């Protein structure tokens, strides 16, 4: 499978860099989004009855549809993580974190990916698999 993806990522053989400003902006957006969701979740758990309000949301069609929609998005994002990571254990951990933490966890992953990419779009997109893709 990586051989087929290598064709799509041929451009990464010539390093495509992002500016330091773009890297910092990405990290800020992802981290601020993470903190905003974390604060919202903590407030919701402390100040509201999550079981009662959750059951109301699941009683209506749009609530059910929203859950289906968002979990499909979580799975699609998770597939990108599987592509980026070599470690099966890391993949399993990220799967459970995303299914439990949702968008907050996705923003944390994006923050960590942006922080660790060394201003390289290739490394941001392909992660640990970049070197293998470059040589195929």
- Phi–psi pair at 90, nearest 5 degrees: -60, -40
In a domain, 47, yes or no: yes
pTM of the model: 0.83
- As for how many domains the chain has, the answer is 1
In a domain, 86, yes or no: yes
In a domain, 96, yes or no: yes
pLDDT tens-digit profile of 3-18?
Answer: 555 555 555 556 678 8
Q: What is the pLDDT of residue 42?
A: 92
In a domain, 102, yes or no: yes
pLDDT tens-digit profile of 21-79?
Answer: 999 999 999 999 999 999 999 998 898 887 777 788 888 888 889 889 999 999 999 99
In a domain, 6, yes or no: no
Question: Cα(98)–Cα(77) distance, rounded to whole angstroms?
Answer: 9
Question: Cα(134)–Cα(116) distance, rounded to whole angstroms?
Answer: 18
- What range does the domain containing 80 cover? 20-134
């Amino acid at each position: 499978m990586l051989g087929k993806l290598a064709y799509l990522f041929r451009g990464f053989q010539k390093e495509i860099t992002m500016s330091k400003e773009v890297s910092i902006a990405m990290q800020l957006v992802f981290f601020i989004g993470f903190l905003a969701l974390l604060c919202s979740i903590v407030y919701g758990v402390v100040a509201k009855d999550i079981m009662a309000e959750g059951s109301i949301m699941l009683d209506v069609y749009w609530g059910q549809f929203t859950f289906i929609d968002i979990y499909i998005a979580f799975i699609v994002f998770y597939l990108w993580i599987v592509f980026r990571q070599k470690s099966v254990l890391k993949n399993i951990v990220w799967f459970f974190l995303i299914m439990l933490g949702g968008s907050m966890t996705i923003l944390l992953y994006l923050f960590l990916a942006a922080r660790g990419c060394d201003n390289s779009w290739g490394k941001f997109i392909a992660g640990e698999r970049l070197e293998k893709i470059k040589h195929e």
